[in-house]
Structure 1
Amino acid sequence: MVLTRQFRFPVFTHGHDGYLIEAAAGLLDNASPEARIVAEAEEETGFRVTRVEPVFTVFMSPGSVTEKLYFFIAEYQADDRRGDGGGLAAEGEDIEVLEWPLTRALQAIRDGEIMDAKTIILLQHLALNADTLLAG
């Protein structure tokens, strides 16, 4: 699987080094969730995904913010790489691309290395459904 590591200032202000491991994600910017995740995946990871599968939609903290997240998964192959990823310099992004097996990512959750909620939710979904998702 492809994950990213990037600096997040709000996390840094809470005593963390600020670098979070995350699934590709971004703001909608008046586009459909499907169109944005395809674009963000390529910008951040360098991989072009053409078929994304909606998983679920959630409110992350409905008691305090209106943020609604759309979760997707997608398959990729080595020949889907279109660039190095790393984000857009114009947006101040400096993103490290990580390719890990699911077992490594799940261990990173247990070890506290992955602390991003959306990423933990997606990885838990993969773990719960690995037999069907990874069989095809």
Structure 2
Amino acid sequence: MTAGLDTPDRRGRTHLDRAGRDLTGNPRVKVRDVTLLSCHWYVLRTTTFDYRHRDGRWSTEQRETYDRGNGATVLLYDTERGTVLLTRQFRYPAYVNGHPDGMLLETAAGLLDQDDPETAIRREAAEETGHTIGEVQHVFDVYMSPGSVTERLHFYAAPYSQGTRTGAGGGVAEEGEDIEVLELPFTEALDLVRTGAIADAKTIMLLQWAALDGPFGK
């Protein structure tokens, strides 16, 4: 009996080796086998599949996929004051891969869990920044690291003000979150992208969107 296969894992999941076996959207891909490697919190699998190349030949390939679920992120902005609301928190994967202290400046974000993207991002904005946002704008959906991570991230933007603040923010302590909330002039945030002080991809994408087509665009 293996957790995640025939018995529930720590999150109550079973049959985790079935993902992808019924895919039919691409006739050049035939999934042969899926092996569960880990399901400690997120899910790591190795998939073996046959792939038909453009010249017609078939080859057998293996790929590892890391499934952490889908997520959503939101840029909170105030056009009257020319500011954006960001967070700063410790990210161990960045720390272990060369970031000086692992403290990343980011837009509010989180996993969908069982919610739809808009519901999830309202939840995350309230938990992380303390603001209960009103109308949100859907910007785009992006596969952030399609070579190995299955996650699709839903991008949003929403205005904030002193009137939308309903809590302290800072994240959920029971989940180990320790999040600092920072309000920055939008122009300063763009400068931090240029200098590399903002090194988080989703944050850079939303700030650049805001400058080109969004609330701070010409």
- Category of TM-score, reference length = shorter chain: over 0.9
Structure with the higher fraction of residues in helix conformation: 1
Are 2:96 and 1:13 equivalent residues in the alignment?
Answer: yes
1:100 is paired with a residue whose SS is strand
| Structure 2 unmatched ranges of 5 or more | 1-83
CA distance in 1, matches of 2:104, 2:202: 12
1:118 is paired with a residue whose SS is helix
CA distance in 2, matches of 1:134, 1:60: 24
Are 2:191 and 1:111 equivalent residues in the alignment?
Answer: no
The aligned residue for residue 124 of structure 1 is 208
| Structure 1 unmatched ranges of 5 or more | none
Q: Map Cα deviations across residues 76-130 of structure 1 (whole Å, 9 max, x no partner).
A: 1111111121101011000000011210100010111100000000000001025
CA distance in 1, matches of 2:167, 2:145: 34
Deviation of 1:15 (Å): 2.7
The aligned residue for residue 140 of structure 2 is 56
2:208 is paired with a residue whose SS is helix
One-letter amino acid of the counterpart of residue 117, structure 1: A
CA distance in 2, matches of 1:41, 1:73: 11
CA distance in 2, matches of 1:134, 1:18: 29
Higher relative contact order (CA 8 A, sep 6+): 1
One-letter amino acid of the counterpart of residue 92, structure 2: F
- Cα-Cα RMSD: 1.2
Q: Per the alignment, do residues 63 and 90 of structure 1 end up closer, same or farther by CA in structure 2, a change over 3 Å counting?
A: same
CA distance in 2, matches of 1:11, 1:37: 23
Q: Map Cα deviations across residues 39-78 of structure 1 (whole Å, 9 max, x no partner).
A: 1001000111021110000111212211100000001111
TM-score norm. by structure 2 comes to 0.59
Map 1:39-118; keep pairs closer than 5 Å.
Answer: 39-118=123-202
CA distance in 2, matches of 1:60, 1:15: 20
- In percent, how many aligned pairs have the same letter? 57
